[in-house]
Structure 1
């Protein structure tokens, strides 16, 4: 019989939750346990519709991953940072600007934040095809578990959510699933991410912003909730609200690709990361993500067969014949992010750039 022994990883001890009274976003909670019946999916589709229209973010619970499995993945994620030397990280650093890909390491001090201050964020990105790139020695023993984690996210979280979104648009359940294939989605990946505390001088120069307000460029982002409060979303009235930690829950949000596919009906959600509250400022912030994108060749044109979109109307960011493919949009956004020259926008606190003929805004 195959061995059930898994390689040893030191336990990652997360920070205690903040005791500060913050302005928390009132996000919907989607119970995936209800998705097993047509009636349950119909109910959840209405909830997802409301959540995406109101905030663009929602929690997912009862997804099938245990708390123990959750903790194990955070243990593995931490090895990408504590188990790999700075010299070895350089060997596996992604050539982001030239390739338009994050596969491998994004090292600290790559993104410009503000006033000459660069980021203190590392992330290590593993394509759901774990053989696509070589990996550091400390990560290699855990690759089978990372691959299983990617498959779980893709088939048991992403696809059920896409079915609910399709139903909310009155489309056949598999329409969005069919353009998010596991083997075809070129840059869909698992991300391990760590934010490190910054100096008081850097905090002052950036107004405590660690990552400017932005939208994700894929269709759906899955964040595994962790206790260091730093993520904020921008509400429809322009207010920034904090995302609260929920044990073993997922925080799910919409990105550009979903906005383009739905003709603006579901917007890519503006979110940012800022310095944590005072009682968490001495901790690093370890993140675990699954970034999902449609298949590379998918043209990001509106799903005009949707009766919902036919009724409400379609807001195009570009003409259909000029629409980028997912691969073109992902590579353009990736190569430019944090490394391009931004222009001051018409709105206060907004900077702009044009990517693939589309105006992209950054909020600070």
Structure 2
């Protein structure tokens, strides 16, 4: 068994006082060069490793983290991400972590740029970013590199950002999974890949999902299903239901709709009003609005992206990097969870327990 080396032992070995050892270890107060060399030689000899947690708790150093993500008032999907960030903050605040929140309009590049500017102005030691707008995120990541600010990303993986770490799901695989599920529950016919309020060209997450979806259908179900893409305006604008009705009129043999975001409830609501509830519907995430339609059967399946866990890990990884100088995973994919009306209650219970 290894012997525990106490401060008094180090002092005796270096032939200095305990006060001198304390000042050298904690880098405080004045110590002569000769005394410091004696102590450092002993520390090297015994392979001394400081208790990082104890040292951090005794330190007055604060670490500022800026969280830059879409506004949950405009898209309720982000509520759980914020909850995960807040939970991580409550656990890590004892280590001097403080968080400033910078919420942008997920449909506005100007809003992203303004909030990104404000995040940088806050003087952060690290940044947690949800890079839903591709070009704006690339520009912002470039500034972070120039200013040597550690950047951790979640939700949307963009290789060119080269972040310190990414937490989220394999979006391409997510699209393939959605296609596999759709081909199992929908009758042969047309499937609509539906994007709501976002442009594929600048929204990496929905583009990757559609690519995966089409790839699976092409490989496995091309003789039974035709895939078409429908771009719908934001539901906040008038005419949303009419535009969906027009899409269904254009594609009269539609048997399934795959919604690439958390807004499946918007489609479900319109399908109910249009009397089209026989169309199979798959979307994302366990937000309250989706759960209502999952329970009544208008939404058939939800793929949970564990957004709360993404936010929690993002702050945890930045804490490990900034405070403890610990290595962190560069790529952390979370499981793809399939939730139906039948397993919903047990799934929610298991999440609460964990």
TM-score, with length taken from structure 1: 0.24
| Higher RCO (C-alpha under 8 Å, 6+ residues apart) | 1
Pick the structure with more helix per residue: 2
